[in-house]
Structure 1
Amino acid sequence: MPDNPAQTWENTIIHRDLHGHVTHELGKAILRGDVAPGSPLPREAELMERFGVSRTVLREALRTLTSKGLIESRPKVGTRVRPREAWNLLDADMLDWYARVAPPLQFALKLQEMREMIEPYAAALAADNHEDSSRERLTRAHQAMVDAQNVDEWVRADLDFHLGVLAACSNELLIPLGALIERTLEGQLRLNAKRADVYNASLAEHTAVFYAILARDASAARRAMADLLGVTRGRIEA
């Protein structure tokens, strides 16, 4: 007798949820240092019991972690954690897990360093290369920042503004970067807004970036974004 389609669908969703949960928890444990690089993972039977899952679910989770560079399996050696330099932290899931387990200040500063390396030059590229559609997106984001009435509205607009700057560069390699850091960047923007005297304290700095990009003044856009990120660093280090 054929399977009930509704039951089959439900079983598939449960299977995916279990796989995702095991992947998430094991990934965080490794990034947190519960299992040191070069050390073996617990045996399959132990992991199956710990998470209450089948061997199939566990092995799917391990394959996912292997694809992200966290672990490797070898005959007669078993499954071990790979060296830190092999970890693919430029992966949305990995970055999210790392943000959850890394010391908060340490992670915030690492993300800030990455932003300082990229965003001022992205603002200059946006000034040189923006098109009608990307200019309109930046205009909407900036206006939403001006109109924001609370932290949530401000953070959504702030995030869209910074992602809009990357999109305005007209460089296909920078757009995925925005998607990669979106979740972690949103967390940092929210923290910065809450640490400021008022949530929109950096509106003037964002406005300077916005008008420099619209004026196609690449040097001014780069300086304005560097100034904005300097304010951000000051709040992180305070």
Structure 2
Amino acid sequence: MAHELGTAILRGDFAPGSPLPREAALMERFDVSRTVLREALRTLTSKGLIESRPKVGTRVRAKAAWNLLDSDMLDWYSRVAPPLQFALKLQEMREMIEPYAAALAADNHEEATRERLTRAHQAMVGAQNVEEWVRADLDFHLCVLAACSNELLIPLGALIERTLEGQLRLNAKRADVYNASLAEHTAVFEAIVARDSSGARRAMADLLGVTRTRIEG
């Protein structure tokens, strides 16, 4: 219920600032009980989508209040936002974070995170189809964040994991061959393992440049 109503709000079915229909109308529209509806409304309130006030009712909050840095919200939004617009916004976020994360990973990786990154890279090298490549590619980028040794960056990977997986799959299908960016990933991997922070930053920026070209193409 929260997914259906939240997606409807994000899609624009209920405009920011507008009141939601009364409970009876929502129960009929979504075919749910009052208990289910109220639990869904509490969930959406916690995500910043709606607010309830005495004598005013339940209204959709302004977009600035929406907590899109929530894994559910980000996933819902990715399904209803204009595809190119959303892909570019996710790409902008990655370009701000991942080159610096690669530099941190080069400086701070430990044996365990280096081994995990190595396994992810080996899986990319050995991938035989798009799905194997995408799983390995996603794991590679999550490993880079883990290797930063910054506990605040690891939840970021969990946050964008579902939407990033979708972007990686689309990029692989748009390329001439699914593993067309293997050389760029290898450059990132080798720089991190060599503890070359400036090289890792440049290599990740180059990799993301290839990604942007595919998105815009």
Q: How high is the TM-score relative to the length of structure 2?
A: 1.00
CA deviation map 1:128-185 (0-9, x unaligned) = 0000000000000000000000000000000000000000000000000000000000
Amino acid at match of 1:189: L
* Count of equivalent residues: 217
The separation in 2 between residues aligned to 1:237 and 1:41, in whole angstroms, is 37
Match of 2:151 in 1: 172
Decide which of 43, 48, 55 is 2:22's aligned counterpart: 43
TM superposition shift of 1:54:
1.1
Alignment of 1:133-148 (within 5 A): 133-148=112-127
The separation in 2 between residues aligned to 1:189 and 1:30, in whole angstroms, is 27
> Alignment RMSD, CA only?
0.4
Match of 1:219 in 2: 198
Match of 1:6 in 2: none
Q: Which runs of 5+ in 1 are unaligned?
A: 1-21
Match of 2:60 in 1: 81
Match of 1:154 in 2: 133
- The percent identity for this pair of structures is 89
The separation in 2 between residues aligned to 1:144 and 1:75, in whole angstroms, is 56
Alignment of 1:66-77 (within 5 A): 66-77=45-56
Match of 2:177 in 1: 198
Q: How high is the TM-score relative to the length of structure 1?
A: 0.91
Alignment of 1:93-172 (within 5 A): 93-172=72-151
The separation in 2 between residues aligned to 1:205 and 1:119, in whole angstroms, is 14
Match of 2:51, SS state, is strand
Moved over 2 A (4+): none
TM superposition shift of 1:53:
1.2
Could you say which structure has the greater relative contact order, defined with CA pairs below 8 angstroms and 6 or more residues apart?
2
TM superposition shift of 1:52:
1.4
